[in-house]
Structure 1
Amino acid sequence: MFTLAQARHMVATLRPLIDELITLRADLAELTVEMAGGPTRSGGLPEIKALEARIHGLVDEFRGHGIQVKGIAPVLLDFAGVRDDRPVLWCWLEGDTDIRWYHRIECGFAGRRRI
């Protein structure tokens, strides 16, 4: 369980890893498109597998901190917490500068509300 302050601290602390995930995702997308015609100067299947492995490693690292990774395109991270005596998920979406949203667990992303 995270307080809102703890969740915000985790986003700030892990920001370099979040940025790395975003870069790797873009690199993987570009290489995959380039590979449509076969190996390129940018690489081939070994480079694709290496990018995928690093992405999975980052996701595992986030999960190891108790963070729920709901998506990587865009990056969507949820942090279990409590608000008004109800279990909620503090919600961070790629592009957000801070955690400014939450939703009840049973409502999902569609139930997001401003903090």
Structure 2
Amino acid sequence: MTERTFTLSEARALLPEVRARIDAIVAARADLAELSYALRSGQPTRLGGKPELKGYEARIDEAVGWFTIQGIEVKSLTPVLIDFPAYHGGQSVRLCLLEGERELTWYHRTELGFAGRRRLPGA
């Protein structure tokens, strides 16, 4: 299967849905952490029990699956870090978005990863 690549415009056009999916992951992740702790420690919680824990895990998996179907790479869930495969200046890059960022203004060369992160020109 050929890897999908995005133009900056295509990636930015997906941002409303991307942000909504990230927000859903963040909310489910927090509830999952709280519920997991409560179940391990035997503390009562308003979040439910094992069935609800499985539900939070399923919500996260569903959101990750949506990114995968779109051709967007999920690099981390804590914090959420996603990459859009792209080309910049003839090089393979990743347009990257970190949880909490509202705009797509960063990229890194594919082979460098997050450590090579730079601002997009004009961003």
Preserved CA contact (<8 Å) 1:86 1:104: yes
Q: Does residue 1:29 correspond to 2:38, yes or no?
A: no
SS state of the match for residue 100, structure 2? coil
Structure 2 counterparts to residues 73-112 of structure 1, below 5 A: 73-112=78-117
> How big is the alpha-carbon RMSD for the aligned residues of Structure 1 and Structure 2?
1.3
Residue by residue over 1:57-101, the C-alpha shift from the partner in whole angstroms, topping out at 9 and shown as x without a partner, is: 110111100100001111101000010011100000011111111
SS state of the match for residue 5, structure 1? helix
SS state of the match for residue 97, structure 1? coil
The runs of 5 or more residues in structure 2 that have no matched partner are none
One-letter amino acid matched to 2:48: G
Aligned residue number for residue 43 of structure 1:
48
CA positional deviation for 1:37: 2.6
The runs of 5 or more residues in structure 1 that have no matched partner are none
Which deviates more, 44-53 or 7-16? 7-16
Distance 1:84 1:55 in 2: 34
Number of equivalenced pairs: 115
SS state of the match for residue 111, structure 2? coil
Distance 1:39 1:52 in 2: 20
2:12 counterpart (3, 8, 16): 8
Counting aligned pairs with the same residue, the percent is: 46
Question: TM-score, normalized by length of structure 1?
Answer: 0.93
Q: Does residue 1:52 correspond to 2:68, yes or no?
A: no
CA positional deviation for 1:8: 1.4
2:76 counterpart (71, 77, 88): 71
CA positional deviation for 1:6: 1.0
